[in-house]
Chain A
């Protein structure tokens, strides 16, 4: 049952990600991206990363995806579900390059003897992550908060500037 669920989630992630990069309708791509992000959250659940799964749903699906859809809506005169976009003329070349990269990485994956340590997964990761963020990773945490503040101020300034 668990293996079936894992296979379903993996298939959903790959299928929707393929849809994101191949469909010509931007809103469809955004909805497919939502499927991919939910699927990745499901993979986190299978990896015993409960806090990350919740963060993925809240920040990616609830924040970044909404931002992306706003971006689509704000940059097109026609507001509808059929907002089209065209592709670069280098599609076959890109497909060949990506396919070669995919074959190379897959060969690397199956030829490497991965050393797997079999440690028992923890039941809840929230406590460990919270303690680590405020002790060992405190500096990184503060720097990340400053980065967010600067990025959001900069984004607001860039988007609201009147004279280009």
Chain B
């Protein structure tokens, strides 16, 4: 079980579930959770390719995954600030109800 294919398969499942969440959820926070699933799927790919690609002395996949985590932290902070602002302006966090450009 401990092979490249099994990690890539888990990553595919995580990515598809995250995409499903992003496409079907209306609540902004729930959409953010789907995005986090997608980012985690990408990170599993980076680390798995690093492990099974023979790059165990330089670890570029680990570095890339670290920067993805940094970016995910920044993205979560900004996205939640936008969602809180949206809630203040429209009293809703459903992304399809906030369609006025000037509330």
Seen from chain A, the residues whose Cβ lies within 8 Å of a Cβ on chain B are 2-3, 6-7, 10, 13-14, 17-18, 20-21, 26, 29-30, 33, 36-37, 40, 43-44, 46-49, 51-52, 55-56, 59-60, 63-64, 67-68, 70-72, 74-75, 85-88, 90-91, 94-95, 97-99, 101-102, 105-106, 109-110, 114, 116-122, 125, 128-129, 132-133, 137, 140, 144, 147-148, 151-152, 154-159, 161, 164
Contact = CB atoms under 8 A, between A and B. Distances in A.
Nearest to B23: A94
12 contacts: A7-B1, A52-B66, A71-B80, A85-B30, A120-B56, A122-B57, A129-B62, A129-B66, A147-B71, A152-B74, A154-B81, A164-B85
A132 B67 contact: no
A155 B78 contact: yes
A153 to B, nearest CB: 10
A14 to B, nearest CB: 5
Majority SS at the chain B contact face = helix
A158 B74 contact: no
A68 B31 CA distance: 11
Interface of B: 1-10, 12-21, 23-30, 32-34, 36-37, 40, 43-44, 47-48, 50-59, 62-63, 65-67, 69-78, 80-85, 87-89, 93-94, 96, 103
Given A29-B33, A49-B50, A67-B77, 19 more contacts: A21-B20, A21-B37, A43-B47, A49-B47, A55-B69, A71-B83, A75-B84, A75-B93, A85-B27, A98-B17, A98-B20, A102-B13, A102-B16, A105-B15, A114-B5, A118-B54, A129-B59, A151-B77, A159-B85
